[in-house]
Structure formats: C-alpha cells, structure tokens
Structure 1
C-alpha cells in the first residue's frame, strides 16, 4: 500500500531551508503545524486511486505545488459528492485532462494549473539567491541577527558564498551586542554598523542587529533575521489570463462542459482583483462631463478571457475556478468560480456548490457558496 510520506521518526523542529524541496521538508519536519498538514495530505492521498498513487507521489517529490493542487481538487470534488475519474479519454485527441467529475446527469472535464507570475529566468535567479541565503544562514554571530540591507547580484554567476561568509564572520567578531544596543538607545537604529562586501559578481551590505540577552544562547538559530524589502508594481492578472488561454485551447471542442482550475501562487497583487480582471476584463470608472451630474459608473473593459472587443471567445470553456490555496491555508483559502456567459457547454451551476460569479440580465452577480472549512470539515484555526 502506497503512502505519500515516509513512516520515520522525526525530530527536526526548524524552518525549511530557502532552497529546500517542499516535499523533503514536509517529510522530515516534526513541527506540530507541519504534522497536522502532513496527516491531512496523507489522509487525502489514502483515498486516491491505488493505481495512480505511485505517479502522484513521484510528482509530489519532483514538483510539490502542482501535485498538491491536483490532490486538493480531487479531494474537493469528492467532498462535493462527485465521482472523480483521473485522466479520462477524450473523443477527438490523445491528450487527457486531469479529471472528469460526475454527479447525477452532469459530467465535467477538469484541467488544473498552478499560476506563477515569475518567468523561468526569474525563478532560476530566485533559486540562486536562496542558495546564497542558505549559506549565509550558517554564519556564527552570537548575540546578533543579520539584516540584509542591500543585495545586488551583478552577473549570472553563482556568487562565492565562502568569501562573503569569511568577510562577514571576521567583521562581526569586532562587535558586541551590548555596545551596539547602547548606541541604538542613544542615536536610534541608524547607529547599527554596516558590513559591506563587493566584488565583480555581487554587492552586499548586512547589519548586525542585537537580540535580547535571553535569545543569545539559542542553538542552531539562523543568522538572517531580515531580508531586503521587495517592491513591485501591478498584479498577476496577465499571468492568469495567459494560463487560462493556454489551457482552454489545449483540447479543442469537447463533448462535455469544461472547467479550468487555476491556483494563484503569485507573490504580486490580490487574488480577488486579479481574478476578476483576468476573467471579466480590466476594471475601470467612467463619468459624465456634465458638472451637474457626473453619473460615475464602474465597469469592465472588453479585454477579459470570456469577452473582448471582437466578441465572445473560448466558448468551449464552461467556466474558470480560481483559488489561492497552500497546504497551510486550506480551510481559509480564497476561491471563486466564474461561469462563462457565452459558453457552448453550459451546465447546472448549482451542482458545484462553490462561491460563484455569473452574469444575469447583463450584470455580474455573486453567489455565496460553501466555504472550504465547511466542505472539508476543518476548523479555520486548525494549525493553532
């Protein structure tokens, strides 16, 4: 009988490494919250068809997020009393969608996709930075946590962590936490000294921030306490729109309703705003030039996935389910179903029972459905 995680003794209570494979961390952690999550995923996995478990576990080990989302969707539709068929055959192509769900007379094809707002190059760069952070976390700095004030990677090369660590280790040994605490008391946080290192590949500035005396003897503590502030402009609606387009066109015309399910793991923007913008169109405000009656109205531009200035599109698609679910927020995850108003494969929306948006008399309506904590019978504070 296949299990998702190993039956082993666990004694590691720390956080994951910056570049650690998520499956490996969930498999080795003894933390209470991780144990609760692992037990739930194992329970879901136990209900997965036996002949599909080996392949799903391999995908968990290789690429955790898409595998988790498929297991989440499988469990969600089972809880909503659907029969779920994995990788069903299609009449017109050898390609197979992720699921076919069935309830009463309703049958719907389901395709799942994780949406990330970072390009392949950006993700590769992030892995490079995370590897550097993993090395810097091993710096021995009793009495301090390191604030990474500036980090500028100049080339595509992986920076030499040893030279950086040796330099910071040498410099930080010249400071005492009590002395810097006194300086902060007198002059504020600007008094914290800077440790700077620069070569042709990298420029980094760190600050040794003193910790309270009772925390100075904690063993195995990580060196980094604060990371550079990341700022960005804009959201993730374009990435979501592109993913919906690609998935909707993958199978051509189908003989049954078809839903694409998108899990937004993007770090930018708001799930609610970006989902509405991608599906219905860019949100805008218009008003009259009459100063006596501005008649301010809000609406959507004709640039969504369902409708553009050229007319309805992706009519083989019945709807889009958008979520932002992680293993840690399952009962509280944001989610909504969007019904395609011009679909050629309409179905009874009430069978899905999830919160939904749809059009009626030319206006977008919202229906409150079952919450995830209600569906899964998991308390909202389940990890406390």
Structure 2
C-alpha cells in the first residue's frame, strides 16, 4: 500500500506557513521530493501488510505532528530492518493491555530488544494557535504591495479568535500603498489590530521592481522563549519508561523532538546527558580571604540516577532523534544519538542500533561513542537531501 500515489505533480512553490506535512510532500514536484516519496513508500511496503493501512492513515492526518510521529516510527522500523532484524509490531508484553511499538528479533526469531518511540511536541492549545496564525500569515503573504516592497512580519499578541482576514488585508494594502518610500533606508512599521491579535508589519523597500512578487512576507520574527530541552526529554522517558512493566529483555525508548526545542550541535548532547544523568549547576564557595571557587556539579534529577542510587534500570538505552523529518540526517549538528543505561537490568547489545552517542566510563566521565550514523544505516543516497 502506498502513502504517495503515482500522479502528475506540477507544484514548484515551497511549503507554506502552517501547511500540513503530507499535503506539501504529496503535491511538490521537486526532484528531491520524488526521491523522498519513493523512499517512504518503500519503507511502508516493508511493514507487515496488516500494518500498512494504519500507517498510511496516520501519515495522511491533517496534523503534521501525527505525520512526524508516524514517520519517526517508520524510520526506526526501516533502520532495524536494514540491520537484518525481524520486527514484530505491537508485541505482547508484561502489561495486560498496553503494547510497545516493536519487538526486535534475530532472523531465527530470538528476542533481542523492545523498542518504543515517543515524541514531545506542542500542546493542543499551541497547535490550535499555530493553525489560526497560519491562516493570518498566509493571507498577509498574498496581499498586493507596491512594486519593489516586502513585509517583515511579527506577531506581537496572539489571540484565540479567527479575525476577518479580508478586512485585515485591505487595511494592510491601503497602508502599504500610502507609506511606500523610495529611500530603502526608510522602513515604515505599524501594528495592526484584528480582534485579539496584534501583528506588527514593517514595509521594506529596495527589491527589484520588475520581478513579480509571489510571497509578500520577506521575513518573520520567531518567538522568544526559554528552552528546557532536557526537561522535555526526561519527561518523555518518564512517560514511557515504566508504561509496560519490566521486560525480560532490553528495552529502548526513542525520544523525538516534534516541538523544535533542541538547538542542534553540542547542546543536543548536553541536553541528552542532563536528562538522564542530571542537570549541571555551578556551586560557588567563598573563602575567608575573599577568594571565590566554582565547581560544576550535577543535580540528582537524572532519569537514570547515580551509581549509588540508579533509577529505571528497566530502560536499557535511550535514543534522541532531534528532528522528526529525514532532511537533516547527514548534518553533523542534527545527528540522532544513543545513550546506554550504565546500570541497566538488561544491557542493550552494542550491535543493536549502533548509533553515535555518549557513555559514562569507569572514571565517571562522559566519553563519545562513534557508532554508525542513522543516514548510513538507512542507506540514504548522497548527497542528501538530493539535489533538485
């Protein structure tokens, strides 16, 4: 069964703000997207026939978060298959009603490990807010501007309503026509109020006047917020770590960021380590002579605890998938990482999902593990993403 049907596609426009993932991937005619569609269709064909329809239905859901979560599961299934394992989907387990995602088996059927994929993402309220704002953003993106101008967009206050977009766009078009300046250094700005929304727009000139404008918004300001990725990872592990009872074999929890909390690079590893081994804080000591000494320590809030008081030994390893799509799997700063529980009840064999990651060595220090990148396990083509 296919997720993406064979059909003629002509769309050349990039993904729109708030557009569902499936809708974009199913309509875009870029060469890279055709490669992507064939890849995902092939992975779905590798599922048991009884599971294919459910996967297709989940990925066609209008909510992109559901698409991303399903894609993460499909990616892990494909990786385990590439490694030569058999995979039983939703196997029986110690819990009487709940079932994990996968039971990994050798080719002769011997159990190797259980795998559960979980995500952390925006709240339902935030998803609704994003959908409402997407409608506003996309409407403004189509307003008619004087030749040579674009808009810089920033949502100052986000509301719960869906304002009249025709009136808002008419007001923006009138304002831009009246305030367009020949001097590109002069950039008029105005905050437009639409019900309980406040949208600040800046009119930016200096663009070529003979090039037709397809998108009126040239830049958009992002939200400023405090990111606490290690707490999100830790909470995801707590949610799934004990959900199925104690297994008689290794148990792996894969945590997927569908919220955009992770910043990439070394900070991903730092957040991952802090989630399972404790948050780093700095302790200050002041001596009688006024000298100050600082020392970095770890709080005892890690999911796996400490050597003298280990926690959750039933979770043999955790994997961090920092982005739910496939496009960054060859980027150094977005590599999936694995950490094995140093005091696990059932240690995970090194050859099972042998990803790069970190381990706690005998000296109590965190040492990098080279491993094999997920892109190579999946046999993604190079270059990746494919060139258009």
Normalising by structure 2, report the TM-score: 0.86
Within 1, Cα distance between the matches of 2:133 and 2:194?
16
| Structure 1 counterpart SS, 2:386 | coil
Q: CA, structure 1 residues 362+292, in 2 after alignment: closer, same or farther (shift >3 Å)?
A: farther
| Greater shift in the superposed pair: 104-113 or 17-26 | 104-113
- Stretches of structure 2 that go unaligned for 5 or more consecutive residues are none
CA contact (8 A) 1:321 1:338 kept: yes
| Structure 1 counterpart SS, 2:224 | coil
Match of 2:272 among 266, 272, 275: 275
Within 1, Cα distance between the matches of 2:385 and 2:197?
43
Q: CA, structure 1 residues 295+207, in 2 after alignment: closer, same or farther (shift >3 Å)?
A: closer
Within 2, Cα distance between the matches of 1:125 and 1:175?
31
1:21-51 Cα deviation digits (max 9, x unpaired): 2111111111233222222212222222222
Q: CA, structure 1 residues 301+289, in 2 after alignment: closer, same or farther (shift >3 Å)?
A: same
| Structure 1 counterpart SS, 2:330 | helix
Within 2, Cα distance between the matches of 1:206 and 1:320?
44
CA contact (8 A) 2:153 2:202 kept: yes
Match of 1:206 among 196, 201, 207: 201
Structure 2 match to 1:159: 163
Structure 1 match to 2:227: 234
Structure 2 match to 1:173: 177
1:365-384 Cα deviation digits (max 9, x unpaired): 32110122322333254323
In the TM superposition, structure 1's runs of 4+ consecutive aligned residues that sit over 6 Å from their partners are 290-296
Task: Determine if the alignment matches structure 1 residue 21 to structure 2 residue 20.
Answer: yes
| Structure 2 counterpart SS, 1:253 | coil
Aligned residues: 370
Q: How does 1:102-113 map to 2 (within 5 A)?
A: 102-103=105-106, 107-113=112-118
The alignment yields a C-alpha RMSD, in angstroms, of: 2.6
1:249-295 Cα deviation digits (max 9, x unpaired): 21011222111101123323432222121111102345776799988
Within 2, Cα distance between the matches of 1:336 and 1:22?
25
1:165-204 Cα deviation digits (max 9, x unpaired): 110122223355xxx2x423xxx3xx21224422552222
Normalising by structure 1, report the TM-score: 0.87
| 1:310 Cα deviation from its structure 2 partner | 9.2
| 1:84 Cα deviation from its structure 2 partner | 1.3
Task: Determine if the alignment matches structure 1 residue 252 to structure 2 residue 245.
Answer: yes
Within 1, Cα distance between the matches of 2:298 and 2:101?
32
Match of 2:137 among 133, 139, 144: 133
